[in-house]
Structure 1
Amino acid sequence: MLVLIDPKDARAIRNKDNILGMYDLMINQGKPEEAAARFMAPAYVQHNPLIPDGADSLGIFFGQVINGRTRARVDVHKIIAVGDYVWSHVNFRNLFNDDPQDTGIAGVDIFKMDSDGKAIEHWDALQVVGTPESAANWYAPNVPAANPNGMF
């Protein structure tokens, strides 16, 4: 994992650690409601149109998504923290299936954190991770990747 942070910025270090803890507890450990209560402010503002505002809503959403998904996990590839903001580049795997061949969904998450280190606002951009044979399997099936660089 690539971590970019000023080692003298205690607030940024705490915020980065909290976001990493949130991902792990919410998805890898399968405890989304607990993670949302611990790492999100109650009045959490969500900019992803699929998820309502509020920490409780986030916990409920991910609870429904990962319910029964034994392979659900998130891999954090890059994380940047500066002051009240944390940016992460992640691969969400098996959120919508339990297929062992799932390549996942690449995400860039941006979190704004409060003075207590809880997320108060969130933006994201998501993209299906393809393969060399199928660059984007659900909107351009069987279109080969145009480069060998990979998503991460």
Structure 2
Amino acid sequence: MIELFDSNDGRAVRNKTNILGFYDLVINQKKSEASVARFISPAYVQHNPLIADGPDALGRFFGQITRERARARVVVHKIIAVGDYVWAHVNFLNLFNDDPNDTGIAGVDIYKMDADGKAIEHWDTLQLVGDPRNAAPWLAPNVPRANANGMF
């Protein structure tokens, strides 16, 4: 994992650590409803249209996924923290299936953090990872990769 942050900026260090903790505890350890309030502000604003505002809605969303998908997990590849913002380049695996060969969804999550180090606002962009023969499954099915660079 690549981590970019100013180690002298206590706020950035705390915020990066909290987002990594959020991914691990809420998604990878599957403790969504029990743990989400530790990382998410009560005033949380969500810009992903699939999830309502507030920590309870986020906990329910990931709680349902992790109960239904034994293999659901997230891998953080890059994380950047500056002041009140954290950007994470991640691979969400098995969010919508339990296929052991799932290549997942590449995501860039952007979090605005509050003074207590909790996420108060969130934006994301998501793209299916695909495979060498099917690079963009929803956008252009069965189109082979144009390069071998990978998404991460």
TM (norm. structure 1) is 0.97
CA drift at 1:136? 1.4
Give the Cα–Cα distance (whole angstroms) in 2 for the partners of residues 46 and 68 of structure 1: 23
Per-residue displacement from partner, 1:52-99 (whole Å, max 9, x unpaired)? 000111001111122231111100000000000000000000011100
Q: Is the 8 A contact 1:45 1:122 kept in 2?
A: yes
Distance 2:15 2:35 in 1: 14
The unaligned stretches of length 5 or more in structure 2 are: none
* Structure 2 Cα separation of the partners of residues 110 and 34 of structure 1: 23
The one-letter code of the counterpart of 1:50 is L
Match of 1:67 in 2: 67
Confirm or deny: 8 A CA contact 1:66 1:96 kept in the other structure. Answer: no
Aligned to 1:139: 139
- Post-superposition offset of 1:112: 0.3
TM-score for the superposition, normalised by structure 2: 0.97
Which stretches of structure 1, 4 residues or longer, exceed 4 Å deviation after superposition? none
Structure 1 gap ranges (5+): none
Distance 1:114 1:107 in 2: 22
Report deviation, 1:133: 1.0
- Whether contact under 8 Å (2:88, 2:110) holds in the other structure is yes
- 2:85 aligned partner: 85
Aligned to 1:38: 38
- Once the two structures are superposed, the pairs formed by residues 1-152 of structure 1 within 5 Å of their partners are 1-152=1-152
Contact 1:16–1:80 (Cα < 8 Å) also in 2? yes
